[in-house]
Amino acid sequence: MSTEVDMKDVELNELDPEKQPMTSDGQAASGGEKNGNLKTKASEEEAAFTGLSKEELMKVAGTPGWVRTRWVLLILFWLGWLGMLAGAIGIIVKAPRCKPIPEMHWWNNGPLYQIADVEAFAEGLEGVEKKLDNINQLKVKGLVLGPFHTVQADQPSTLQLKEIDPTLGSKKDLIAVLEKAHKKGISVVLDLTPNYLGASPWFSSADLDGVMASVQDAAAYWLDLGVDGIKLSDLDTPTSANLSRLLAVVKGNETVDDDAKKMLMGVAEGLTAAELSHLLNVSGVDLALSDLLEANPQGALRADALDTLSAERGRLAWGFGASRGRQMAERAVSRALIRLYQLLLFTVPGTPVFNYGDEIGLPAQGDQSPKMVWDLEKESKPDDANATAEAELQEFAAVRKWFKSLSELRGKERSLLHGDYHRLQSSASTLAFLRSWDQSERFVTAVNWGQAEETLSLALTSTAEFELPPSATVTLSTDPKMEEESTVELDKVTLGPGQGVLLKFPYQG
């Protein structure tokens, strides 16, 4: 028992390991302080500075030196403020004025996409509604449908403009298309060309007044249902009085709070640029779709038409085959020209109009509407025996990608959207022009639809307000020799046969 007590005493007397010093000789530090602690001595407190008292401040404030100092500081403050104000006014005065943006409507902000044969496109109106997601990827702003009202060819007594051909769909199907399209920001135009199955779109001159009255009644009916515009063929056939009454019907469906304006669209074929300009002023239509670009294969003639009509760009629509409801491929003798025509339509002043399938270069099939091709992104199987068909699908996908790039670019660049037009160069098979707007980037389109290589030397007229730079950057090109972001000298732009390029250069004040 005594042994156990002795051992406990020894344990209690042992120094706590935490208190053992970290010394080389193992001896404990004096005072039993903890390992590593330093003993600090409190320094003597210094007297805190409390500043001047109120009485002392009042004495100093009234001294002549302090009064002079205050006046100097006050004068310097106001001189600095006035200097900044003068500088701001100088910047405002000397800064270039922003050009007012012209009046724009939804049909000016993007391409229009025509579906004349809804059965060939997507098996009727119900199919159109299902394909709206695909159409929306193209950045189109308007969908032009029909005509699909009931009528027998060349029989005005059978005309029923308020009835949809039951083989194509129903009014319920059309309403579904309208609702989904509007949710996606796409307006819908209905083609009410009366005799679309016959020889003359308006039957005969003897039937014109009665037919036009039916068109006016039907236009009011469909616009009340939610349609955003009416399209008619042969714009120069109806009298100006008849068109003014129809225009009143279309505009009468607009409301003060409605930002989506109603549109009257007409097709004008076989007219000169001067005749088309006159027709625009007489008819009062919002948009006229012309065939001038495809009817004039010469570059100089196309340039002349654009020169004459550039001031009317907000009311002009262009297409290759669109005025007749035909595919662009009818006019394009090669796949390369599909891309070239797309480039041209997206960059000329006016609204581009395409038929379904133009975005992929869908081949035409004579008088029959071609069946639309879908599932372009579908991966092919390694054992696919039909290599030709697979290559065609890949080409369709590549053309569609090119189309989307152009559509997206036009929608965000002011120079392409509503910019001024300047002619640069033209020949039998080439055309080059400049689009510019205020202080935005400038874009140059140069195309060669000929069968031989061409070298273009681009230059502005002497009356232009600015000069071309020596070089520009490639934005988009169909020519593999011109890579994107590469630099091209503007006095020597060489294009291969069927090739086109879109160049850009910055605004220089």
pLDDT tens digits for 54-106? 777 777 777 887 778 888 888 999 999 999 999 888 887 776 667 778 888 99
Looking up residue 406, the CATH number of its domain turns out to be 3.20.20.80
Has residue 52 been placed in a domain? Answer: no
Has residue 1 been placed in a domain? Answer: no
Closest CA relative to residue 136, chosen from 392, 345, 411: 411
Q: Tell me: do 78 and 160 sit in the same domain.
A: no
Has residue 279 been placed in a domain? Answer: yes
Q: Is the pLDDT of residue 508 over 60?
A: yes
Q: Report residue 188's pLDDT band, with 50, 70 and 90 as the boundaries.
A: very high
pLDDT in tens, 77-90: 999 999 999 988 88
* Mean pLDDT along residues 5-31: 46
Stretch among 164-173, 179-188, 376-385 having the lowest mean pLDDT: 376-385
Q: Are 346 and 416 within 8 A, CB to CB?
A: yes
Q: Tell me: do 267 and 348 sit in the same domain.
A: yes
Closest CA relative to residue 355, chosen from 403, 421, 308, 309: 403
Q: Tell me: do 478 and 399 sit in the same domain.
A: no
Has residue 437 been placed in a domain? Answer: yes
Q: Tell me: do 406 and 489 sit in the same domain.
A: no
Q: Tell me: do 210 and 306 sit in the same domain.
A: yes
Q: How many CB atoms lie within 10 A of CB 314?
A: 17
3-state class of 473 per DSSP? strand
Has residue 138 been placed in a domain? Answer: yes
Range of the structural domain that residue 273 is part of: 107-412
pLDDT for 39:
46
Q: Are strands 155-164 and 149-152 parallel, antiparallel or unpaired?
A: antiparallel
Q: Is the pLDDT of residue 29 over 50?
A: no
* Mean pLDDT along residues 172-192: 97
pLDDT for 25:
45
* Mean pLDDT along residues 327-341: 90
Determine if the pTM surpasses 0.85: no
pLDDT for 38:
44
pLDDT for 327:
93
The answer for residues whose C-beta is within 8 angstroms of residue 189's C-beta and 6 or more apart is 112, 142, 143, 144, 145, 227, 228, 229, 230, 231, 263, 265
Q: Tell me: do 398 and 361 sit in the same domain.
A: yes
Q: Tell me: do 83 and 114 sit in the same domain.
A: no
pLDDT for 8:
45
Residue type for 438, please?
Answer: D
Q: Tell me: do 438 and 406 sit in the same domain.
A: no
Q: Which two tokens stand for residue 157?
A: 């007594």
Q: Are 121 and 168 within 8 A, CB to CB?
A: no
Total domains, the chain: 3
- Higher pLDDT among residues 382 and 146, named by residue: 146
Q: Tell me: do 190 and 211 sit in the same domain.
A: yes
pLDDT for 462:
66
Last residue of a domain, one of 364, 393, 412: 412
Mean pLDDT of the chain: 86
Has residue 314 been placed in a domain? Answer: yes
pLDDT for 465:
76
The greatest distance separating any two alpha carbons of the chain, rounded to the nearest whole angstrom, comes to 141
Has residue 89 been placed in a domain? Answer: yes
pLDDT for 36:
47
Task: Give the integer Cα–Cα distance in Å for 85 and 90.
Answer: 9
Task: Give the integer Cα–Cα distance in Å for 416 and 420.
Answer: 9
Q: Report residue 33's pLDDT band, with 50, 70 and 90 as the boundaries.
A: very low
> Which residue spans within 337-376 are E strands per DSSP?
351-355
Task: Give the integer Cα–Cα distance in Å for 131 and 261.
Answer: 25
Last residue of a domain, one of 412, 432, 449: 412
Q: Report residue 379's pLDDT band, with 50, 70 and 90 as the boundaries.
A: low
Looking up residue 492, the CATH number of its domain turns out to be 2.60.40.1180
* Distance (Å) of CA 252 to CA 10, 169, 247, 261, 280: 112, 28, 8, 11, 20
Has residue 11 been placed in a domain? Answer: no
Q: The tokens 């109806």 sit on which residue?
A: 238
* Mean pLDDT along residues 124-140: 96
Q: Tell me: do 215 and 248 sit in the same domain.
A: yes
Q: Tell me: do 368 and 433 sit in the same domain.
A: no
pLDDT in tens, 244-303: 999 999 988 776 555 678 999 999 999 999 999 999 999 999 999 999 999 988 899 999
Q: How many CB atoms lie within 10 A of CB 30?
A: 7
Last residue of a domain, one of 362, 390, 412: 412
Q: The tokens 């400038």 sit on which residue?
A: 442
Q: What angle do CA 407, 474, 352 make, to 5 degrees?
A: 25
Percentage of the chain modeled with pLDDT above 70: 86
Q: Which two tokens stand for residue 275?
A: 């005749």
Q: Tell me: do 268 and 127 sit in the same domain.
A: yes
pLDDT in tens, 34-51: 444 444 444 445 556 666
